[in-house]
Structure 1
Amino acid sequence: MGALMGGGVGLTIGFIFGSWSIIRGGAGPRGFLATLSQYMLSSAATFSFFLAIGSVIRSDSVLPPHFQAAQLQLMAAANVRSKSEGAQLMKARWDAEKRRLAAFSQ
């Protein structure tokens, strides 16, 4: 998918910059079509190469992205606590810290 997107973007950018270069400096000895196609193909190859690498790096997982998003949402919902549960957990941690400090000072 990255290669296809890069190819499309590269062809468009190659057309724009190639046309501008031909307008500014002339077509050269090979002619208008050959010069423009060289700009477009080299730009398309470069963009598609880098976007293909980027898409491979980004999709380097076992699960598809929509399953990963669902999994993260479910995991986040499991870690949500009510205020009373959070207060009980905090009190338990404070009591454990007090006992630890009391044992350390004796």
Structure 2
Amino acid sequence: MTEPSVWTKRRMGALMGGGVGLTIGFIFGSWSILQNGAGPRGVLSTLSKTMLSSAATFSFFLAIGSVIRNESPILEAAHLQLMTPAPAIRSRAEGFQLMRARWEEERRRGPPRL
């Protein structure tokens, strides 16, 4: 059994976002029309504009989110690269010794040339 590709997951996220956005746009658009009136554009135009803008926004963000959450090998490799262990934390004394060694190295080199 193979896992869906990145593009398939993106499409599924966009379709789910579009459905959610249309529903939310219908609810909030209807509420806005009932509260404030349809305005000069009319009921259908105002409602469709609200529904489409909401659907586009939800679709865009859910498509991005579904690609980010994808567990493909390429993204897994990037995740492993980002999750490499952080450099070791040194004690205050070790940090001071390292800083002194760097200062001594700078003194030996002399002033910077401009």
Fold shared per TM-score above 0.5: yes
In structure 2, runs of 5+ residues without a counterpart are 1-11, 75-114
Matched, 1:45 2:60: no
Partner of 2:27: 16
Distance 1:62 1:33 in 2: 46
Matched, 1:30 2:41: yes
Structure 1 vs Structure 2 CA RMSD: 1.3
Distance 2:33 2:68 in 1: 37
Deviation at 1:61, TM superposition (A): 1.3
Partner of 1:84: none
Higher CA-based Rg:
1
* Equivalent AA in structure 2 for residue 57 of structure 1: I
* Equivalent AA in structure 1 for residue 21 of structure 2: G
In structure 1, runs of 5+ residues without a counterpart are 64-106
Runs of 4+ in 1 over 3 A off after TM superposition: none
How many residues in Structure 1 have an aligned counterpart in Structure 2? 63
Distance 1:49 1:60 in 2: 20
Partner of 2:73: 62
Q: Output one character per residue of 1:13-63: Cα deviation in whole Å (capped at 9) or x when no partner.
A: 000000000000000000000000000000000000000000011115129
Distance 1:30 1:36 in 2: 10
Distance 1:52 1:61 in 2: 15
Distance 1:60 1:52 in 2: 15
Partner of 1:67: none
TM-score between the two structures when normalised by the length of structure 1: 0.57
TM-score between the two structures when normalised by the length of structure 2: 0.53
